[in-house]
Copies of this chain bind each other. A is one copy, B any other.
Amino acid sequence: MDEPLNLVLFSGTDDKLQAAAVLTAGAAALGKPVNVFLQYWALDAFTRAKIGLDHGLAPEAGEAGRTAVDALAKAGQASWAETLRQAKDLGTVDIQACSLSMDLLGLEESDLDPLVDGVEGVTAFYLNAGEGHVVFI
């Protein structure tokens, strides 16, 4: 359990981000360090301007999926952002923005929510990943 879990987040829909948050919190609860690397639409979802908004669901969710997710939110289920904040309190979770995706989306570091710890390139991501798993979400 010493090697980190390394999550590359690409998708920015609320269902995939919630799945990623649950995988992060579970690893943190087990004492496993987690490195999160934000690309493309996932990075967009972590901006100050957008982190609190509705980011939609994967197209396959359909009407029934939308209803289920809305019902849980109304019942007070933690959002993926809240789940990640709790995971950071629980264990070692480092969240980095991909520098290439920052350029793509025209973002400055000050545009990012404080959940994001910094900006790095893909080579730095690999070096931090060590021998741990890499999971693309």
Task: Please give the residue numbers on chain A whose beta carbons come within 8 Å of chain B beta carbons, in ascending order.
Answer: 5, 8, 10-13, 15-16, 19, 22-23, 25-27, 29-30, 32, 39-41, 44, 55-56, 58-61, 65, 68-69, 72, 98, 100, 103-106, 121-123, 125-127, 133-137
Contacts and interface: CB of A to CB of B under 8 A. Distances in A.
A122 B18 CA distance: 13
B105 A68 contact: yes
Contacts of A16: 10
Copies of this chain held together in the complex: 3
A60 B32 contact: no
Given A8-B19, A10-B15, A22-B98, 20 more contacts: A8-B135, A11-B60, A12-B60, A19-B39, A19-B40, A19-B136, A23-B122, A23-B136, A25-B122, A26-B123, A29-B123, A30-B126, A32-B126, A40-B58, A41-B60, A44-B65, A69-B104, A134-B135, A135-B136, A136-B137
Contacts of A126: 26-27, 30, 32
A123 B29 CA distance: 8
29 contacts: A5-B134, A8-B19, A10-B15, A10-B16, A10-B19, A11-B60, A13-B60, A15-B41, A22-B100, A22-B122, A23-B122, A25-B122, A26-B123, A26-B125, A27-B126, A29-B123, A30-B127, A40-B58, A40-B65, A41-B60, A44-B65, A56-B60, A68-B105, A69-B104, A72-B104, A133-B133, A133-B134, A135-B135, A136-B137
